[in-house]
Amino acid sequence: MKYIVCDNPGHFSVQSKDAPILTDGNTLLRVKRVGICGTDLHAYKGNQPFFSYPRILGHELAAEVLEVGSNQSQLKTGDKVVIMPYINCGVCVACKAGKSNCCQDLKVFGVHVDGGMQEIILLPTRLLLPANDLSLEEIAIVEPLAIGAHAVRRAGTKKGDTIVVMGCGPIGIGIIQFAKYIGATVIVVDINDHRLNIVSEQFQADVVVNALHAPMEKIKEYTNGDLAHTVFDATGSKLAIEAGPNYMRHGGSFILVGLFKGELAFQHPALHAKEASLLCSRNATLEDFEFVMKVLREGKFNTHAYITRRANFEAILTDFDGWASADSKEIKVVTVL
């Protein structure tokens, strides 16, 4: 079978190997769609933390069951499935506490171990969710949306809250849409006017603010000086993250969803004066995946506007530089096998 591997930063190659063989507790799957994630783009550019090469990328997947043994979900050949790509140990303190998303020995499919940019894969059956009622494109975007859903749930966002979302890439858009689904008011901050226009027109953002043009004053004006109940960072940018607490009201919270590869600095007196809650949000859990699938089934997420390009699998070899460019206007690229 064919697969595409990132040999080193800036370079992919097509290779071949034998298909995996079904083993106990696992399911053999044919990959049908691969979503291109920010993690994939960072890995390609050489700035993804906790990463080694060569690596087969791809963890935003839609797949079809080829062969499966006994399983509690009653999966059968031909079923479409959502893949939870977080391979957790099940025995550490985090897993026992129901926080499999931050397992002490977590291995993310396509990041820490080889992923889904290949024709056939083998994964633990416990990580598969039946999804015959969703389209392959919807299945492929469940995982990135679950990250946004987890952040909103971790923050305890509720109807009537005012939040600021910094960054309106794929993860930020998920946060925006799920906060709106709950009934929050959403202010979005970014430096990309194209994306700000998209989230205003297609994803229900209440206010959009360019971070290069006095964002603090505009957020103060909109909130009558109160600022936001919660600020979410979905940029992974040091400059943005360190500015984030400024947009948070007294008694508010700051949620780090994006990941910066380095040290951050905050003014402790300013955080302390607000009795701020500083939280990190990593990956997602089964509850978040099920919530996203529910929203998709209800037709409450704008999948059409979210997936901006559908490309052939081989386009990874020729078009990835463009997708990884800072000038790219794509939100989510989904490749078709």
Q: What is the pLDDT of residues 208-250, one digit of tens each?
A: 999 999 999 999 999 999 999 999 999 999 999 999 999 999 9
Q: Which two tokens stand for residue 42?
A: 């960072």
pLDDT confidence of residue 264? 96
Residue whose pair of structure tokens reads 């529910």 in the numeric block = 294
- Mean pLDDT, the chain, whole residue set: 96
Burial bucket for residue 305 (CB in 10 Å: 0-12, 13-18, 19+) = middle
pLDDT confidence of residue 261? 83
Strands 332-336 and 26-35: what pairing?
A: antiparallel
Q: Which two tokens stand for residue 77?
A: 């050949």
User: Binning pLDDT at 50, 70 and 90, where does residue 326 land?
Assistant: confident
Which residues contact residue 183 at a Cβ distance below 8 angstroms, ignoring those fewer than 6 apart? 158, 159, 160
Bridge partners of residue 27, in order along the sequence: 68, 123
Is the per-residue pLDDT at 26 higher than 80? yes
In the chain, DSSP finds a helix count (H) and a strand count (E) of 11, 17
Multiple choice CATH, 2-132+302-336, 3.40.50.12780, 3.30.70.270, 3.90.180.10, 3.40.50.720: 3.90.180.10
Is the per-residue pLDDT at 107 higher than 90? yes
pLDDT confidence of residue 51? 83
CATH number assigned to the domain covering 148-280: 3.40.50.720
pLDDT confidence of residue 192? 95
pLDDT confidence of residue 216? 96
Percent of the chain whose pLDDT exceeds 70: 100
Bridge partners of residue 128, in order along the sequence: 83
Over residues 290-296, the mean pLDDT reads 98
Q: Which two tokens stand for residue 28?
A: 């053999």
Is the per-residue pLDDT at 80 higher than 80? yes
Distance CA 271, CA 268 (A): 5
What residue ranges of the chain are covered by domains with CATH 3.90.180.10? 2-132+302-336
| 42-56, 222-236, 294-308: range with lowest mean pLDDT | 42-56
pLDDT confidence of residue 48? 76
Is the per-residue pLDDT at 49 higher than 80? no
What residue ranges of the chain are covered by domains with CATH 3.40.50.720? 148-280
Over residues 266-275, the mean pLDDT reads 96
What predicted TM-score, i.e. pTM, was given to this entire model? 0.95
C-beta of residue 177 within 8 angstroms of C-beta of residue 335: no
3-state secondary structure of 313: coil
